Amino acid sequence: MKSAEIRQAFLEYFKSKGHEIVPSSSLIPANDPTLLFTNAGMVQFKDVFLGTDPRSYSRATTSQRCVRAGGKHNDLENVGYTARHHTFFEMLGNFSFGDYFKQDAIHFAWEFLTAPEWMNLPKEKLWVTVYASDDEAYEIWSKQVGVPVERIVRIGDNKGAAYASDNFWAMGDTGPCGPCTEIFYDHGADVAGGPPGSPEEDGDRYIEIWNVVFMQYNRTADGVMHPLPRPSVDTGMGLERVSAVMQHVHSNYEIDLFQNLLAAVEQVTGTTDTKSHSLKVIADHIRSCSFLIVDGVVPSNEGRGYVLRRIMRRAIRHGHKLGAVEPFFHKLVAPLVAEMGSAYPELAKAQAHVEQLIFKEEQQFAKTLDQGMRLLEQAIEGLEGAVIPGETIFRLYDTYGFPVDLTADVARERGYDLDMDGFEQQMEAQRERARAASQFGVDYNQALKLEGETHFNGYTQLVDEGNVVTLLAA
């Protein structure tokens, strides 16, 4: 089954169960300034769950474009390293706004995955987890659905636990949340990893495909959990992950959606290293960068634009590593449009604009990427220990436009850590100099711009407040 057919089948299944098919919303959350990007299908329905945005329907289904590259759900560092994480992915979801609850939600998910006329997956390869104290969900799975208890795992809040799962889902630090039940697919003994709830869980053998959240609370900034007006359901299944299962491949990067894209990456970078993880990183990043631009984000030095810039520069650096000397990243927009333009006409429409913005960023960064990489290579060569000094990280950031996570990405490839405390000290010294300069009425920003090469204003400060990464003027 092709990804496009799975997407379609999902929406049709839930339509047949009385759900309204609602289009994907923008990656920029319309109703929530605290959230960096749309990171799940429920984001556009946040106020519906809270009861403040009444709709004509009480059941909905979507295929939602999502980005997880910052904030509470940040998978940027996983990309290229796991078989299952992207910065951009599509989340298939069904939602009940005070309509059905645990029982129907579980039966729907199971029927869609296992019924011969739908996904027809072998039941014995599916594992489920429930929230530790959720006896009701446990009983539904074991008694009604008939999942053997050996494959039902109770999982708590994951505070200090050895495993990765956490069966209490929240969109962010505030907002709708609740206990959940998750469905995993066992890709078989050839792949490293343990069952959910075991210390080896974070491998890629047992892959979480579907999360069914029983939305029951709204968490406010003071940490208090207020019951929602009516218990609701929010689910999310990664299209790329279920495609991998349906297409009998292990990694998301082997599915149909990625085949042509990966071939295009090889072609535009001219690499012969077809095994490099950089290929996946670039194929992933062209999707997030393009869709973010389609939704109105522009590379900049603050907020969402800075996250976009970080992803772009990361992709450009990986191309450089593969041997690309000329701008290449913008050339991937056309193959992406060929792959996804019919599902997302807005992408096809914006193609020229997306190419242009990416090309501009490539040109700008090309000036300093080479020099920055040389500085970093030299610094690594001369190192005694395994820690890259704060001063180097700062110079790369300040003079060469290397976002810290780009330096961290290179460091990780070579097995080095970063001295982040040292970096922070340099940043503080920089802010101090800026304050001193501004006392004399010098427009520091202007002065720096005149020097030409420096793309980052010396007086900016990196603040990561959990959900929003901003660069603020001191």
Q: Is 84 in the site for ligand ATP (CB under 6 A)?
A: yes
Separation of alpha carbons 100 and 44, rounded Å: 19
Other C-beta atoms closer than 10 Å to the C-beta of 346 total 12
Separation of alpha carbons 345 and 411, rounded Å: 39
417-418 and 387-388: which strand pairing?
Answer: parallel
- Smallest gap from Cβ 193 to ligand ATP, in A, equals 11
The stretch among 28-36, 85-93, 127-135, 410-418 that binds ligand ATP (CB under 6 A) is: 85-93
Dihedrals phi, psi of 182, to nearest 5 degrees: -120, 150
Identify which of residues 77 and 302 has a Cβ nearer to ligand ATP in the complex.
Answer: 77
Separation of alpha carbons 250 and 228, rounded Å: 39
Q: Is 208 in the site for ligand ATP (CB under 6 A)?
A: yes
Binding site partner of 313, from ligand ATP, Mg ion, none, Cβ cut-off 5-8 A by kind: none
Residues 174-213, interacting with Mg ion (CB under 5 A): 208, 211
Considering only 3, 24, 27, 75, the residue that binds ligand ATP (CB under 6 A) is 75
SS3 160: coil
Binding site partner of 84, from Mg ion, ligand ATP, none, Cβ cut-off 5-8 A by kind: ligand ATP
Q: Is 237 in the site for ligand ATP (CB under 6 A)?
A: yes
The stretch among 79-87, 122-130, 313-321, 424-432 that binds ligand ATP (CB under 6 A) is: 79-87
- Smallest gap from Cβ 276 to ligand ATP, in A, equals 20
Separation of alpha carbons 18 and 12, rounded Å: 10
Residues 307-346, interacting with Mg ion (CB under 5 A): none
Residues 65-84, interacting with Mg ion (CB under 5 A): none
Considering only 19, 46, 219, 241, the residue that binds ligand ATP (CB under 6 A) is 241
- Smallest gap from Cβ 287 to ligand ATP, in A, equals 11
Identify which of residues 244 and 469 has a Cβ nearer to ligand ATP in the complex.
Answer: 244
Q: Is 65 in the site for ligand ATP (CB under 6 A)?
A: no
What are the respective helix, strand and coil percentages of the chain, to the nearest 5? 45, 20, 35
Q: Is 89 in the site for ligand ATP (CB under 6 A)?
A: yes
Angle at 74 between CA 72 and CA 78, to 5 degrees: 150
Site size toward Mg ion (CB under 5 A) is 2
- Residues 202, 213 contacting (CB under 8 angstroms): no
- Smallest gap from Cβ 167 to Mg ion, in A, equals 8
Identify which of residues 169 and 423 has a Cβ nearer to ligand ATP in the complex.
Answer: 169
Token pair in block for residue 143: 């008694």
Considering only 68, 205, 318, 331, the residue that binds ligand ATP (CB under 6 A) is 68
Q: Is 355 in the site for Mg ion (CB under 5 A)?
A: no
- Residues 76, 405 contacting (CB under 8 angstroms): yes
Separation of alpha carbons 41 and 117, rounded Å: 25
Angstrom distances, CA of residue 249 to CA of 83, 186, 243, 245: 10, 12, 8, 6
Which value, to the nearest 10 degrees, does the dihedral of the CA atoms of residues 137, 141, 143, 149 take?
A: -110
- Residues 407, 377 contacting (CB under 8 angstroms): no
Q: Is 240 in the site for Mg ion (CB under 5 A)?
A: no
Binding site partner of 241, from ligand ATP, Mg ion, none, Cβ cut-off 5-8 A by kind: ligand ATP
Separation of alpha carbons 102 and 143, rounded Å: 14
| Residues of the shown chain interacting with Mg ion in the complex, contacts defined by CB under 5 A | 208, 211
| Residues of the shown chain interacting with ligand ATP in the complex, contacts defined by CB under 6 A | 68, 73, 75, 84-86, 89, 91, 208-211, 236-238, 240-241
